């Protein structure tokens, strides 16, 4: 298997961190800012696993990439800490089994057999188990970094739980439409996803009230969903250790 090919999705993010570190090392004045800055490290790994799956790899093969991806994330975080980062928020992996486009693609496929749907959310359990595996490994790596760098606050943002909470009780969070039904689609059915026409293509159309939907196009979340997720993070509901906005305020 061509590991380099499958890891291209995260390579860009790792490169961005590398160039940032190089810049900070070069400019001493900018480095002084890092100690009082909040570094938000977005989700990394999800696209790598999906690339493997879309290349007809099995889920077990996709899971084999977890150690390498986590090592790359750990190294990137160590680089940030090395240039003076004192507060780092690291986002975990999203529940990819709850993405409408993936649900549509695999609803009659190898990964969506009888009993593979979560009874509470309707998401594909096999895909979400991959995300859970990644997140457990990521948390283990973050614990190691905390022990190695006690002067740095390393916060884990649990995007997985934030999204599955919405999927279980969408109306509680203000969403009137099904959480697995895309706003911009054209396929109808349970997910409103048309694989041959993505959002923006001929044959696909956007809904009238995106704020009522969790998923924008079957892959990305709506602004309303992102707002709910972000609020849960900054208020500490989905962070380890628990945080509040005061953690990020400057003295």
| pLDDT tens for each residue of 64-90 | 999 999 999 999 999 889 888 999 999
Task: Give the pLDDT band (50/70/90) at residue 2.
Answer: very low
Taking only the tens place, the pLDDT of each residue in 190-228 is 999 988 888 989 888 999 999 999 999 999 999 999 999
Q: How far apart are CA 47 and CA 6, in angstroms?
A: 9
**What's the whole-model pTM score?**
0.87
Give me the number of domains the chain comprises.
1
Q: By the 8 A CB rule, do 189 and 220 touch?
A: no
What's the pLDDT score for residue 250?
44
The domain of 214 spans 3-248
């Amino acid at each position: 298997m061509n590991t380099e090919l499958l890891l291209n999705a995260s390579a860009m993010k790792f490169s961005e961190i590398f160039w940032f570190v190089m810049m900070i090392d070069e400019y001493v004045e900018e480095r002084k800012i890092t100690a009082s800055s909040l570094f938000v490290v977005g989700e990394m790994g999800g696209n790598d696993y999906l690339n493997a799956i879309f290349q007809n790899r099995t889920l077990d093969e996709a899971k084999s990439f977890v150690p390498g991806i986590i090592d790359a994330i750990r190294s990137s975080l160590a680089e940030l800490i090395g240039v003076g980062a004192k507060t780092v928020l690291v986002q975990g992996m999203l529940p990819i089994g709850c993405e409408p486009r993936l649900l549509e693609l695999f609803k009659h496929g190898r990964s969506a057999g009888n009993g593979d749907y979560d009874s509470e959310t309707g998401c594909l359990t096999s895909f979400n188990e991959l995300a859970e595996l990644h997140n457990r490994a990521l948390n283990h790596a973050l614990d190691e970094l905390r022990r190695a760098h006690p002067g740095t606050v390393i916060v884990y943002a649990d995007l997985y739980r934030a999204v599955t909470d919405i999927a279980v009780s969408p109306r509680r969070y203000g969403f009137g439409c099904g959480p697995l039904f895309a706003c911009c689609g054209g396929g109808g059915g349970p997910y409103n996803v048309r694989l041959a026409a993505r959002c923006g293509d001929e044959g696909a159309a956007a809904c009238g009230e995106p704020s009522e939907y969790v998923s924008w196009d079957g892959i990305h979340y709506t602004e309303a969903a992102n707002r709910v997720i972000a609020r849960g993070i900054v208020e500490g509901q989905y962070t380890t250790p628990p945080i509040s906005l005061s953690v990020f305020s400057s003295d």
